[in-house]
Structure 1
Amino acid sequence: MQLLNTLYITTPESYLRLDNDTLRVEVDRETRLRVPLHHLQAVVCFGHVGLSAPLMHRLADEGIALVLLDDNGRFKARLEGATAGNVLLRQAHHACVKDAIFTLATARACVAGKVKNARQVLMRGAREAKLDEEAAMLTRGADDLAATLRALPGATDLDVLRGLEGEAARQYFGALNFVVKPEQRKWFQMDGRSRRPPRDRMNALLSFLYAMWMNDCRSAIEAAGLDPQLGFLHAVRPGRAALALDLVEEFRPLADRLALTLVNRGQLDEDDFVVREGGAVSLDGDARKAVVVAFQERKREEINHPVLAQAVPLGMVPLVQARLMARAVRESPLASQAGSCRDVPGYVPFLVK
């Protein structure tokens, strides 16, 4: 399944091999798909998928990223060739991360984008609620997020900002159950956000969708020439793509909206999930494929980007946002290692309607 130059492999026990200038996908030794390499920018494999060494070498040579995720969509590894990009931009990026004012402003923008988009999910749920009391609870949740937005300018350091973000997330996920249709709540009720592993069906679905958005955001950041390991909101840790985690925050509510659509329309039901010993929950093979197809279809939808003031496919928005982040870094006085970031316009997050 291919979209915007990304090939998603969801069928268990698939085997990928190089066939001249083509990637060939086999299942049970039968060829299921051929994709010319020049059409690809990334290959994303879910679960147990085999790959030939010649194919991995060729992907690296061609600059095509190979991403390995587990069955739940959790990141495992990424293979890519030599790092490309503007070294001066990366130097400016490192300088901006060291500036407390720029870092706090960028982190605040990431949180504001996430909270505003999450608030839209609850407000839309309130408008569509069948029961007045549920509409009232969703409206109250949206009001709580509005209070968080008003408090963000007063956050004087990253710890305070992260605390506000965490409290907003708790309030949001507490209200999200009421956006699920009553007849579906028996199977898709959430008791807060749970990860590694997800402990219920909705959390398993959200984790899977977040992982796909995360991969797109990391690829976008690398395409823009920034360092994906060096974030503003998320702390730097070895092996952690902190800047990709920053960027993906504003896209999480989009994943939530798709998850709610799939559940409320009955496109997924309780039998599409596997509950393992110990309580871990994951999507089964066919359900993973259905979610990827829905994700691809959603990414094809055109939206009016508020900064560009033009229509773009939703799947291209991470690339736009990564370039806006690169622009904020590039236009910072610290790009020339002089001055302060106090008056820099800064990063503008993507807001949905």
Structure 2
Amino acid sequence: MNNHGKTSFVLILILIMMINCLFITMATLRVGFYKESCPSAESIIQQIVRQKFLTKRSVTPALLRMHYHDCFIRGCDASILLDSTSKNQAEKAAAANSGIQEYQLIDLIKARLEQICPKTVSCADIIALATRDAVALASGPNYDVPTGRRDGLISRSNEVNLPGPTSSVSDARKAFEAHGLTLNDMVVLLGAHTVGTTHCSFIKDRLLNFKNSGAPNSAMEQGLVKKLKKICGSKFNVDRTVFLDQNTSFIVDNMYYKEIVKRQGVLKIDQVIAQAKQTSKLVAILAADNSLFGEQFAKTLVKLGTLQVMEGNNGEIRRNCRMVNN
């Protein structure tokens, strides 16, 4: 082979390598990603989540919250699972993430999968799949989850910035749109409050002294005010928790929307989406049709799960969800 032929051959090899690298980097999530590499992955996750759900039904809101809080910071990369170190305060340490539960459940699932399929199933995919299973167990929709996420290497508490329970529709909308989610997505994802709880300290002003008026928030139905005052106590010296859905508290359904259209929203953000011009119509539609809510909730959870995912040769597959690989 002459020099020209050798040069051409080398260029072709380089081109092939570049195409291969591009293919790996641009790999896309797909349903059944582990069909060949770990066929039992999804059934193992489902089994362990089911066992937990049978003894602790609050696993559903816990996993929904974990999934949302993870995806909203650095994308769905399981950065929320990383523990802090002496040199770094991880996302777990942020005030907005206090009270998140079921880290141990993810640990249990990961340990089992490492026994069956070492270094194969990502922690990020475990969160997404476990959330799907927990939603279905709570009588919510059963939907397919595209997988193939990889785990992130960075987790910083100072990056945690989430819309809070007292956010306005405008502020919450900006936060969601910054992540590629629409106003409608926001309203649908707030439907997770159908199985959620909040601390009395977050609603104290709504019950006792709304906007320094010395009275409860007049926008809140007074029967609910009395009920919540009884649960929380008048002095709030113990920060108790209350259900955001006062009727079907452990069932994923559209009761949350039915309540907020009746001025029975517990958090400020719950109530304002039922009143704001730009969101009230969708709230009313979801309140009237449970099947539609289930369909939209599933679609929006899948969309949430695709935010800024790491794929291909990016990130890693952690062996322990609490720390990056050595």
State TM-score, norm by structure 2.
0.26
Larger strand share, 1 or 2: 1
Quick check: which has more Rg, 1 or 2? 2
Q: Per chain length, whose mean CA-contact separation is higher, i.e. which structure has more relative contact order (CA < 8 Å, sep 6+)?
A: 2
